[in-house]
Structure formats: C-alpha cells, structure tokens
Amino acid sequence: MKTDNLLLVLFAVYPVVRALWPMPRSLQTGTTLVKLSPSFSIEVDVAHPPQDLLDAVSRTNQHLKGDMLQRLIVGRASSDTAALVHAPSLTKLSLTLAPAEVTSVKSIMAEATKDIASRREGYSLTLPASGGAASIVANSTLGLFRGLTTFEQLWYADSAGDPYTYQAPVIIADDSPAYPYRGFMLDTARNFFSVSDIKRTLDAMSMVKMSQFHWHVVDSQSFPLSIPDFPELSQNGAYSSSEVYSSSDVQDIVTYAGTRGIDVLMEIDTPGHTAIISTSHPEHVACAQATPWENFANEPPAGQLRLASAATTNFTTSLITSIAKTLPSTLFSTGGDELNVNCYTQDAQTQAELDESGKTLEEALNTFTQSSHDALKALGKTPVVWEEMALDHNVTLSNSTVIMVWISSQDAAAVAAKNLRIVHSPSDYFYLDCGAGEWIGNDPAANSWCDPFKSWQKAYTFDPLANLTEAQTSLVLGGQQLLWAEQSGPENLDSIAWPRAAASAEVFWTGATLPDGTPLNGTTALPRLHDVRFRMVQRGINAIALQPQWCALRDGQCNM
C-alpha cells in the first residue's frame, strides 16, 4: 500500500488529534507513539532570525518540558508506559521559511500588526512516525509561530514526566485561518485589571491562535489610561493612582501581545460612555452626573461628549490622535455605541451650538465622527466602530471602516448590505458576562439584560456567514468574544473567560468544517476542549472545569 493511502486509512481510524485547538484545516494522523529525545532541539533555519522568533522557540522548549500534562484517559500516563519502551525518538524540529520569503524576514510582531487583510499565518507541519526530525515550514515568522503553537499541543508527559506523542505521523499541510480576526475583548474601565492579568489573558489567547486583543480601556466609570498629552484624564479619572496604565505599561502590553501573534486594537469610546472626562474637562461633557441616570445613559454615571461643540470635537480628535500614533496596530476604535439623544436634548449648550451652526444632531455627529476618523486615516489607521454608527445614525463611513456587530447576530446582514466590513461580536452568542444576574443595586429579582449564560457550546454553533449572500462573505473579517467587567475582576477573569472563549477561536480559524469534511460539532469538540483547559491550568491560567474529571477521562460517557 502506498504511504499516502496508509495515512488516509489511519486518519479514518483516528480522525482527531485530541490535543489540537483550533483544529487545523488539513490533518492526517496515525497511531504511533514517539518520544521526545532528551537531546531534542529546535533549529531555526532562518537567516538573521528576529529575536521574538528565538524567544518563541525558547518558550516552546519550556512548554514541552514544563506542561507535564498526562493524557486525559483512564489510567492517564500509565496506559502508555509499556508501549513507550520501544517508541522511536524525535531529535529535532526544524523551522524554515519558504524560499520566496528568506530575503524579507520580519519579526512575529511586525507580521501580527500588519493590516488585517495582509497578515500571513499559514504553516505546514510534519512529524514522522519514525522519529528523527520534524519540520515546520511557513511564509512568515508569524506562520512559524502558529506552527510552534500546534506542535506544543501534540505532547504529553509520561509517568516520569518525559514528553511523548501518541498519534504520529502527523501531517498538516497549508493550515491557515479561515478569518484573520479572531479576538477577545476586555473591558478594563468598570473594574481594573493589572498588566499581569492582561498578559495572562494574552497567553491564553495565544495558546488557541487568537489574533486580536480588543482593549476597551476607558469608559464612563474610570479613565485608567495615562496619555502624556492629557495627563489630567487619568489623574482625575482613574480609580486610584495605582490603577493606571502608564505609557510604558501600554507599550509593554502591546509588545507582549505582538510577540505572541496578537495585535492590540485599542478603543476610546466616543461620544457616549465618556462621563469620566467631566472630572477633568467639565466643559466638554453634557449632562454629567444627571439624574435619574437611566434617562441620560445606559449605565451610571451619565455624561457624553458635547459633539456639537467645535472645541470638544478638536479635543476628542487630539486625544485619539495622541494615543493612536503610539500604537503599531492599523486598527483603532472610536466606539460610537449607545448614544443617548435625551442627554443632548436637555443640554442647553448643545442646543445653542446646534442652533448657531444650523446643524441637526445627526449632522453634528457626522462632523464629530469625521474629524477623528480623518485623523486616524492620516496616521494610516483604519477606524473601527460599533454597529449603531452604521445602522442607527446618518454618519458617513468609508468602506474600509470595520463595524462590530454586537446588539444581535441578525444585524450583520444589514451591515453587509451597506458594503461595510464586519467583526462578529454578538451579544446573543459571544458575551461572556451574561447570565450572572443583574448588577443594578436595587433590582434583586432581575436577570442580566443579555441572559441566558452564553455557553461555549452556544458560541461554537455560530455561523459567521448566516444570512449573507455569497458576494458579501468577503466582508466578514472574523469575530470575538467579549468580557464586559461590571461583575468581573482579576479574581474571576480566567474562570469566566477560559476555556469558554476558545470556542470562537476555532470557529474563526477552522471554518465551517473539520478536515474530514464534517461540520463543526460540539460533542466531538468537547474532548479537545478538555485538553485545552487542562493544559491552560498547567500554565497558570485558572480555566474552569467543563465537566467532572470522571467525564473528561471517558469520552462520551457523560452524553445523554
């Protein structure tokens, strides 16, 4: 029998490498055990390799030796002890760039922060059943890094703690993501998260090949971002002097993310969700602290930027420019959600400025938005906004603008009808904070507005192309899961997000079907997600259990 045919037969018997998440888009596996040689090395066959690639190799070596994850089967590592005695050894992994790329080697971070349409993350991986040498070949250092992430997931610890894999040969040809945007959003304004909390989140994201950290850094409740040109904002708006992201903190986070294949999309939400700016610039904020707050805002405290004011427009544009110019990402979000019209109707200054200019509120909003967007474009940035800017307001948006669809997954079709690019962020699938009860103080019987709880199984059923025409599918950049932090802090960050958020990482990497052509299926995905969760815990990420361990060790025996 030819080797290729043999591999296909083996693939039919063992259709899934239990460890891999997200599932590669092509995959062949076998049933042979291979040990990692004590002398195993990773050879970087790249001229003048960038430091972040060398650092990634070092981390892979640490993970191979330090994960110490035993197989999730009854008997754990002892089940393979006898077979491992005569197993061949893998002595080397070589990393190679395709010949066309060897003259223009860029760092992982440089590749990860490219314009989203031009990122290259694909790789091919071969791990032979005979041991010897494995290989990863890619068109970029980012692709090599994605390949290293896959390679790490193949290994388990035996009873002595030595790594081995049990499904060699493994052949992955031209694995690349179905969508370039595979994100996680964290709100650091409702409650503060330290730099170490964010880095730990980035580590978890990188484990499942997420590519975008959407940092909702400020909001009405606090302004923890220190901006050198506007120091008064954080001085007056942070919860405390110790709950501030300095410029060096921001650059530390951005670099940490970039070297792990993640682009940082920062958001300064405007004109709504800006009440905190009144603590340093009351002249720019309408209806600050107005009561009852629910008449003037979706959350307390009330207050929105005076969008009809030329001075406020210039202030906002300068603020956004000041931070955006320091960031390598080509994406920057100006927000635009939940604008409260009543606030402006009740604000005498806004009404006077509208009368003086002869503009309607919508026309003033358009001028306000165009100012900041034009400034971003001058910096080479692409504006990102929430869906209301495209669907509810008469704002002129360039076709390059990225729209985050959040109110309902059903709204994506209306955005696509306007020929605007989409990042799926729907509250009915991807909001991680839903289902924890109401955070409003005097409403004990109420549930959260976006109930019920959004399980990983629910997120895993999401169809990125639902209700879109074939011509509109190219508008979908991907999607993200989101953690709004009214009821979250460092204490529950890991458990509320992981491994649940990994569901969308596979939806947007693997696409609609598995390598054998069958649709994504939560039942068959569960054993692999167990593996992700256990490996995360081994790396210090406090991911929550999905089932009793008894179930995790016995595939399918807890199904109904």
Contacts with 82 (C-beta within 8 Å, 6 or more apart), sequence order = none
Contact 110, 188 (CB under 8 A): no
**Strand boundaries in 176-254, DSSP class E:** 181-187, 212-216
**Strand boundaries in 139-193, DSSP class E:** 156-157, 163-175, 181-187
> Please, what is the end-to-end C-alpha distance for the chain in angstroms?
40
Q: Is 100 helix (H, G, I), strand (E, B) or coil?
A: helix
Q: Which two tokens stand for residue 533?
A: 């969760």
One-letter identity of residue 311? A
Q: Which two tokens stand for residue 280?
A: 């340093």
Task: For residue 377, count CB atoms less than 10 angstroms from its CB and return exposed for 0-12, middle for 13-18, buried for 19 or more.
Answer: middle
- CA triplet 350, 352, 356: central angle to 5 degrees? 115
Rounded to the nearest 10°, the torsion over CA 341, 342, 345, 349 is -90
CB atoms within 10 A of CB 356: 9
238 vs 484: CA distance, rounded Å: 18
User: Does the annotation count 438 as an active-site position?
Assistant: no
Residue 297's nearest CA partner among 338, 336, 348, 349 is 338
99 vs 101: CA distance, rounded Å: 5
Task: For residue 545, count CB atoms less than 10 angstroms from its CB and return exposed for 0-12, middle for 13-18, buried for 19 or more.
Answer: middle
C-alpha torsion sign, points 244, 247, 248, 249: positive
Contacts with 310 (C-beta within 8 Å, 6 or more apart), sequence order = none
Q: Active-site residue among 101, 243, 338, 486?
A: 338
320 vs 325: CA distance, rounded Å: 8
Active site residue ranges: 338
